[in-house]
Amino acid sequence: MAIREIVTVPDEVLRRKARKVTVFDANLQKLIDDMVETMREAPGVGLAAPQVGISERLIVVEYAEDDEEENAPKKLFVVANPEIVKASPETEKGIEGCLSIPGLVGEVERPLQVVIRGQNRRGQPVRIKAKGWLARIFQHEIDHLEGILFTDRATRVWKPTPEEEATLLD
């Protein structure tokens, strides 16, 4: 495993619609492992392949259900070709940040719950129901695969306080 360089704006790969993952080989497994290690090192809660310069539809998300508890177990999600197949009509504004847009955060309104369909790291179908913060993370990462950044959706953008920086998205 290796830590990869995180691409930042204005790199054009961040604005490109990513290609579908069609081959689930050793190269993809290495990319997944590298992305997980890079996300953890950053540290972040999600990372999309375009953020490490690879224009493929692949995301990794790691989240603890009880994020108030310091040593709460985290669940790792690896999803190739993710798509949101259902989103709740209820939305909520939240503060997001991004490893590819250092030094800025924004307020983004997103659905409170989503259902994601995709493939796991071996190419098998997966379906994930996410709500709250986890739903927000998935939506943020899937946006990356479409070339959309949180700043495109934000109602306002600003430089974060140290407290805000501690709770940023990817």
Tokens standing for residue 33: 């492992």
Please, are residues 58 and 21 in contact by the beta-carbon 8 Å criterion? yes
Q: Give how far the C-alpha of residue 95 lies from the chain's centroid of Cα atoms, to the nearest Å.
A: 14
Q: What is the largest CA-CA distance in the chain?
A: 42
Is residue 141 part of the annotated active site? The answer reads: yes
Of the residues 56, 62, 96, 141, only one is catalytic, namely 141
**Other CB atoms within 10 Å distance of the CB of residue 118:** 23
Q: Is 8 exposed, middle or buried (0-12, 13-18, 19+ CB in 10 A)?
A: middle
Catalytic sites, residue numbers:
141
